[in-house]
Amino acid sequence: MSITEHEKLYSPSQWSRRFDSLGVQAEYSKNARNMTELARSATSCEIDISYGPSERNKYDIYGTDLPKDAPVLLFFHGGYWQEGSKDVSGFPAKTFVSQGIKVILGGYDLCPTVTVAEILSQVKSLTEKILKFALEWGSKSVWVGGHSAGAHLVASLLHDPEWMTLIAQKGYLPLLKGILLISGIYNVEPLLTTSYNNALKLTGNEAKVLSFGTSNTKVPILNIKVIVTVGECDSPAFVQESCNYAQKLVEFVDNVEYLLVRNSVDHYDIMEKLVDNNFILNKLLIKNIQ
């Protein structure tokens, strides 16, 4: 079945040079399962720790045998807020644990069971909890990252002054050293006229509020580095959004880095390559997180 040009722009699987749309999704699903299983067998980990009332309100910790003061990477999966799971998102776990970084994969409820706004609340709740634990552990630092819709969820932290004030009051803010946004979507209004909104059920006003790329946030963010990255063979809309959003962040964040990953990297293998110590994004992240 053909899709409109507009929908194609917001369908990253349509733009890979490696496979057709179904093929790249199948390859990603296979690799996601395999790499997560490998991470669980090759690292010391604790799986399915609850942080909320629902079945999906759980997280996994990889690197439980690392020193208590090890830096932490909390990561949220993508899937257009309606698919995906922490249980098939283990790409960064083994590599980063081997570099002394504790990796925490966060799960959350999906649309249409809940709204995008409710997912944002879950992400903020888990992030606050992990910051609390990191303070108790004596962790050197905490980075929070996400892929695709997960990047949008993590970006929401930068646009919520009340949440930032809350974690500052609790003494957690100095630990939050970085935000990692991989292949994200930051302006959701264009999704209103796509099939993706069948599950999201966003109204025009809701989409406007959730479009951080056009947000008027002016509250300065200090001492937190934000890395915005995307593959050159992602959807042109996603590539442009990443570039535009990085420029937007410069207006109120004091340390922003934008990385366009070349060599035909697409929306999916930018995550698959996180298992490779020599991948340019891994080198950048490890240098910043350690």
DSSP letters along 132-174, please? HHHHHHT-S-EEEEEETHHHHHHHGGGG-HHHHHHHHHTT-GG
Which CATH number covers residue 71?
A: 3.40.50.1820
- 6 catalytic? Reply is no
Instruction: Answer yes or no: pTM beyond 0.95.
Output: yes
Give CA–CA dist 100/103, Å, rounded.
9
Number of H helices, E strands in the chain: 11, 8
Range of the domain at 275: 5-289
Tell me which DSSP letter residue 67 carries: -
Give the total number of structural domains in the chain: 1
Find the catalytic residue in 11, 89, 141, 148: 148
Is there a catalytic annotation at residue 267? Answer: yes
Which residues of the chain have a pLDDT value below 50? 1
Q: Known catalytic residue: 152? A: no
Measure the CA–CA gap between 216 and 211, rounded to whole angstroms: 10
Tell me 107's DSSP state: P
CA distances to 112, 116, 166, 289 from 61, in Å: 27, 25, 24, 17
pLDDT, position 2: 65
pLDDT averaged over the chain?
A: 97
DSSP 197-241: HHHH---HHHHHHT-GGG----S-EEEEEEEEEEETTS-HHHHHH
Per-residue model confidence (pLDDT) at position 1:
46
Q: What is the pLDDT of residues 30-75, one digit of tens each?
A: 999 999 999 999 999 999 999 999 999 999 999 999 999 999 999 9
Six-digit token string for 278: 């020599």
Catalytic residue among 89, 147, 152, 234: 234
Assigned token pair, 222:
């200090």
Beta bridge partners of 162: none
Q: How many CA atoms lie within 13 A of 205 on its CB side?
A: 0
